[in-house]
Copies of this chain bind each other. A is one copy, B any other.
Amino acid sequence: MTTRLAVSRRLRSTPYTPRVEALGVSDYSIVNHTVLPKGFGRSVEEDYWHLREHVQLWDVSCQRQVELRGPDAATLAQLMTPRDLRSADVGQCLYAPLIDQNAGLINDPVILKLAQDHFWLSIADSDVLLWAKALALGKSFTVDVIEPDVSPLAVQGPKADVLMERVFGTEVHDIKFFRFKYLDFENHPLLIARSGYSKQGGYEIYLNDSSLGLALWDALFDAGAEFNIAPGSPNIIERVEGGLLSYGNEFTLSNNPLECGFESYCCFDADLNYIGKDALLKVKSDGPVQHIRGIKFDGDKCPPCASVWPLHVSGKTAGHISTAIWSPRLNCNVALGMLNRAYWAPGQEVVVQCGDGTQRLGEVTLLPMD
């Protein structure tokens, strides 16, 4: 598809947009009412190899923050997630599914604990701001819930460490995985986490002052010249192979955490209370009826997955694919999808009803893929 994205203020630009556009952004997605650069005129495969070998700068400002701050902030945060936040440290990032009373997934943010009474939820594509605001209102909690001026910039790839050291000093090496520290940029402390939506390593810089956006981009991009830096974006090939899921793609409000592989983020301690616990306990007790898996399938390079593709086994519905792309490394098409219980065993053969009208032979895999 070569459909253009119509311009409007509603689809928000970011502090980095002028640089992204000057560098020739060719594809945007929209996440949280905000542009997400998805391509710069190179192929997804070129971007994939580059990400695995060098370092990329990603404008992920669309990862908006929902700030909870005040006496009831911790109570509200815990109410929203099955993940046990009681022992979380200040300075920790916690991947946390959010669910409703039916255990349906609302979002899957990374929660940053800034202080005992101060959290950021770095969200995927749904208005958690409204969910959190209304819960606070309905429960009469004393907490401020806002979207602050925070625009994450991701530095991803094997050369991220050396690049970050050039700009922020050797202290970046002290930041542990899924932890954050404040490091200075132009005398302004920036929250920097060792995290990101790839398996290639790197950092996310939570810029909290839009007016510094261009200077921050330029400092990293200029220092990155010797490391073959390029503008980039979350790469579909890399994330499918790595089993990195996407809210709205692999799972929606109609899915529960246990069928998405989030068991380790769900606490069932008797003294922990959160929305949807009873429903989630029932899923746990019955066992999930479907589960997200990888799928490898044959044939030519598949088209992008604009809507789910059915999977069949012996003519029966076995599940569906939600994201698919050709992997130049594995030399086959790779996909993420939902498999019914009877068909989710690794090695299960399936027939993929591909979006181009063809039928392809495929095989269920565990995630991440080899």
Residue ranges of A at the interface with B (Cβ–Cβ < 8 Å) = 1-13, 21, 25-30, 33, 38-39, 100-101, 106, 125-139, 246-249, 253, 275, 304-308, 322-323
Measured CA separation A82–B68 after assembly (Å)? 26
Is A39 touching B304 in the complex (CB atoms < 8 A)?
Answer: no
Is B25 touching A3 in the complex (CB atoms < 8 A)?
Answer: yes
Sample (16) of A-B pairs whose CB atoms are under 8 Å apart: A1-B21, A6-B27, A6-B28, A8-B29, A8-B304, A9-B306, A9-B307, A10-B125, A10-B246, A10-B247, A33-B126, A134-B134, A134-B138, A136-B138, A138-B138, A138-B139
Residue picked from A101, A138, A249, most chain B C-beta under 10 Å? A138
Which residues from B are CB-within-8-Å of A106? 130
Which residues from B are CB-within-8-Å of A275? 137
CB distance from A223 to the nearest CB of B (A): 27
CB distance from A306 to the nearest CB of B (A): 5
Is A30 touching B4 in the complex (CB atoms < 8 A)?
Answer: no
Which residues from B are CB-within-8-Å of A39? 4, 6
| A27 partner, pick from B4, B101, B305, beta carbons under 8 A | B4
Known pairs A128-B130, A130-B131. 7 more at Cβ < 8 A? A3-B27, A4-B5, A5-B27, A6-B28, A6-B304, A7-B305, A134-B135
| A127 partner, pick from B8, B21, B101, B126, beta carbons under 8 A | B126
Measured CA separation A12–B248 after assembly (Å)? 9
Is B308 touching A9 in the complex (CB atoms < 8 A)?
Answer: yes
Which residues from B are CB-within-8-Å of A248? 8-11, 33
Which residues from B are CB-within-8-Å of A2? 4
Is B13 touching A307 in the complex (CB atoms < 8 A)?
Answer: yes
Measured CA separation A130–B255 after assembly (Å)? 15
Measured CA separation A135–B132 after assembly (Å)? 10
Which residues from B are CB-within-8-Å of A29? 5-6, 8, 10-11
Measured CA separation A126–B32 after assembly (Å)? 9
Which residues from B are CB-within-8-Å of A138? 134-139
Which residues from B are CB-within-8-Å of A5? 1, 3-5, 27-30
Which residues from B are CB-within-8-Å of A135? 134, 137-138
Chain B minimum-CB-distance residue to A14:
B307
Is A133 touching B3 in the complex (CB atoms < 8 A)?
Answer: no
CB distance from A278 to the nearest CB of B (A): 13
Residue picked from A127, A253, A308, A323, most chain B C-beta under 10 Å? A127
CB distance from A37 to the nearest CB of B (A): 9
Which residues from B are CB-within-8-Å of A9? 248-249, 305-308, 322-323
Measured CA separation A126–B126 after assembly (Å)? 9
CB distance from A22 to the nearest CB of B (A): 13
